[in-house]
Amino acid sequence: MRLALDSISKKVGAQTWLHEMRLALHSGAVTVLLGATQAGKTSLMRIMAGLDPPTAGRVTVDGVDVTGMPVRERNVAMVYQQFINYPSMKVAANIASPLKLRGEKNIEARVRELASRLHIEMLLERYPSELSGGQQQRVALARALAKGAPLMLLDEPLVNLDYKLREELREELSPLFAAGQSTVVYATTEPGEALLLGGYTAVLDEGRLLQYGPTADVFHAPDSLRVARAFSDPPMNLVAASATAQGVRLQGGAELALPLPQDMAATAELTMGVRASALRVQARPGDVGVAGVVELSEISGSDTFVHACTPWGGLVAQLTGVHYFELGTAITLHLDPAQAYVFGADGRLAWAPARQGRR
């Protein structure tokens, strides 16, 4: 199934919720809608599903215009943030409901197969009210998979779960989607989920589609500062810089040798972007170092996040492992210049690691 949005937009009163955009989903693949809250993800999904019409433009499925077709006439499965299950039905009946509507055979075997894949086979005789939040969301996912719809929409389905449950389900989603035939659209605010799911990513910000492409390509070569901010967690470190004949000069006088585009003026205002994971406390050959003072150190899972005040400005380093730093102590952070991003005065990408030229 190939769903395409042709110059669609959405206005509500005087507000523009979605600016004009074109987007053609890759059939049978996962497309992640990545953006902050109110970026337009849910509005876009509702138009894809047929729950809301666009103000302008059209929606096509396999080349057929379905813009005015109501959701009840489309074969779409949706999973929301809330745990939406039939409270009067046991888990087995919840999962079986779309199978019964289609008049399928061997329903019991199919239900057990889906329950096994989602590790809820021991819950089939319970009611939703007897389940935890994570178990209820697994039931909702199983029912959506049972529907076998050519288009499956998931609107931040893990956001209301605790950290441990989110991590468990995230790891299970990719093989679940790969085992089906559906075109999957998955909305999230978290870059880590987009990277884990792979496929394709559409980055949204304030109702605008900023970039769409294979997830790895969008992550490694963001078109603009706006995309880089949206696709970095923690946010990408941004440092004021200027162009030189050899590369870029940073605040504090440090210089990085980078082969910038030849048409970039020698004194042009630039912004250098550095992902937190690219900063280290141990120097390697060719690194550029910057001395600073520790302002905050926090341990999250198996990583340590160090916030430091430096001549380049405030920096956040993501260090693998558990490390302890006293507040106010001196620290030197090191960067391989080849891992730096450079954005022009217009915010467009001028240099990315292992990639050259403007996008």
349-352 and 355-356 strand pairing: antiparallel
pLDDT at 278: 95
pLDDT in the model for residue 7: 96
Spatial CB neighbours of 241, under 8 Å, sequence gap ≥ 6 = 248, 249, 250, 251, 269, 270, 271, 272, 342
Pairing of strands 76-79, 151-155: parallel
First to last CA, the chain: 30
Quick check: 277 and 319 in contact, CB under 8 A?
no
Identify the three-state secondary structure at position 8.
strand
pLDDT of residue 359: 37
Residue 357: the pLDDT is 39
Q: What is the pLDDT of residue 263?
A: 74
Digit-coded pLDDT (tens) for 97-149: 989 988 888 899 999 988 988 889 999 999 999 998 888 888 988 888 888 88
pLDDT for 267 equals 66
pLDDT tens per residue across span 189-220: 999 999 999 899 999 999 999 999 999 999 99
Query: Per-residue pLDDT averaged across 38-58, rounded?
Result: 94
Vertex 145 angle, CA 140 and 147, to 5°? 100
**Residue 190, exposed/middle/buried by CB under 10 A (0-12, 13-18, 19+)?**
middle
Run of H or E including 11: strand 3-12
Residue 109 burial by CB count (10 A; 0-12/13-18/19+): exposed, middle or buried?
Answer: exposed
> What is the mean predicted confidence (pLDDT) over 54-76?
90
Percent of the chain residues topping a pLDDT of 90: 62
d(CA 298, CA 318): 10
- C-alpha gyration radius of the chain: 24
- Mapped to the 3 state alphabet, what secondary structure does 63-81 carry? CEECCCCCHHHCCEEEECC
Find where tokens 């178990």 sit. Answer: 135
Give yes or no for residue 316 having a pLDDT over 90: yes
Using the predicted structure, report yes or no on whether residue 358 has a pLDDT greater than 50.
no
Q: Kindly state the tokens that stand for 311.
A: 């001549």
Q: Mind listing the domains of the chain with CATH numbers?
A: 3-223 (3.40.50.300), 234-356 (2.40.50.140)
Averaged pLDDT of the chain: 89
Distance CA 341, CA 279 (A): 13
3-state SS, residue 303:
strand
Q: What is the model's pLDDT at position 163?
A: 75
pLDDT of residue 14: 92
| pLDDT (mean) for 241-263 | 85
Kindly state the DSSP code that residue 231 receives in the 8-state scheme: T
Q: Is the pLDDT of residue 356 over 70?
A: no
